Amino acid sequence: MNQRPTIREQMDACRADSDDLHLSEHAADLAELHAGLRENAEARGDCERIQHDDRLIRSAMHDVALPAGLEAKLLASVQAVEGLSLAGVRRAIEEGSSTEEKPVTVPAPANRRLFIKVASGVVAASVVAGAFAFLNWPPKEQATTKDQLATQVEEWLRAVDVTAMTKPTKPMSPPGGVLGTVAGSSSILSRQGKMTAYSLKLRGISATLLAIPTSQQYPVNALPFTKISGMSGGWQVGAWQRGGVLYVIAVLEDSGARLDQFAPPQPVG
């Protein structure tokens, strides 16, 4: 008798940002999940976390194409190794026997077999090491898509703790060219390295600003910032890049704040 999948297994079966949950052909298999999401807040939270983790995994994975002809080159190298050591030993014996002044002692059969094995091993190890280095050579850095950036921004914002920020000793303008004053700041470690988070205040409204030093090019413009869509958690987010730094500014939708309130006025003409 087949056992029905648990509600957690049904959550794992739904791909992130897909229509799996709403497809009619999956309705019977995901009936418990449908009921759980409708009636249980804890189940909704678990499902959202699983979907978020799936997005992180998806954003970290890249397709890498193997160089053309690599398989044939490796096979040819292995075939060359099989004959190389024997040919070397044979050549050494022949050269030694033709030299009258310096008689050559041919290794005993057991020692000769050992020599051949060692020589074969050295050459084979060189081939394997070369292939390993070739396959692990750092690939050209791939551009980040807007979906991947949205997933990264969600991860960064979850790591921000405004209550743990250090307040400045004197009034401080935020970096990146946005308006407002810095109410607090803290350092955050992420997969992209160290970044700085700022809490901004402007005429009674609040925003969170992230400054991420990076050499990577993101799909955003300079100020005015590019709005990042597909965000969860009730955030409105904008991003821009300049001077080797990616800046991200975020406001909560239910706070009454707007992103454009923090953008500096643009010159006319």
Which tens digit of pLDDT belongs to each residue from 91-145? 655 665 555 554 544 444 444 444 444 445 544 555 455 555 545 544 444 567 8
Contacts of 160 (CB under 8 A, 6+ apart): 186, 188, 197, 208, 210
The model's pLDDT over 142-195, given as tens digits with 9 standing for 90+, comes to 567 888 888 888 888 888 998 889 999 988 999 988 899 999 999 988 777 888
Q: What's the CA angle centered on 221, arms 218 and 223, to 5 degrees?
A: 130
Q: What's the CA angle centered on 24, arms 23 and 30, to 5 degrees?
A: 75
CA 201 – CA 171 distance, rounded (Å): 11
pTM over 0.75: no
- Sequence spans of domains, the chain: 7-60, 70-135, 146-262
What pLDDT is recorded for position 239? 92
What pLDDT is recorded for position 247? 92
Mean pLDDT estimate for the chain: 75
Q: Which of 227, 63, 47 is nearest to 150 (CA)?
A: 227
Q: Give the pLDDT band (50/70/90) at residue 208.
A: very high
Could you say which architecture CATH assigns to the domain 146-262? 3-Layer(aba) Sandwich (3.40)
CA 31 – CA 95 distance, rounded (Å): 81
What pLDDT is recorded for position 59? 65
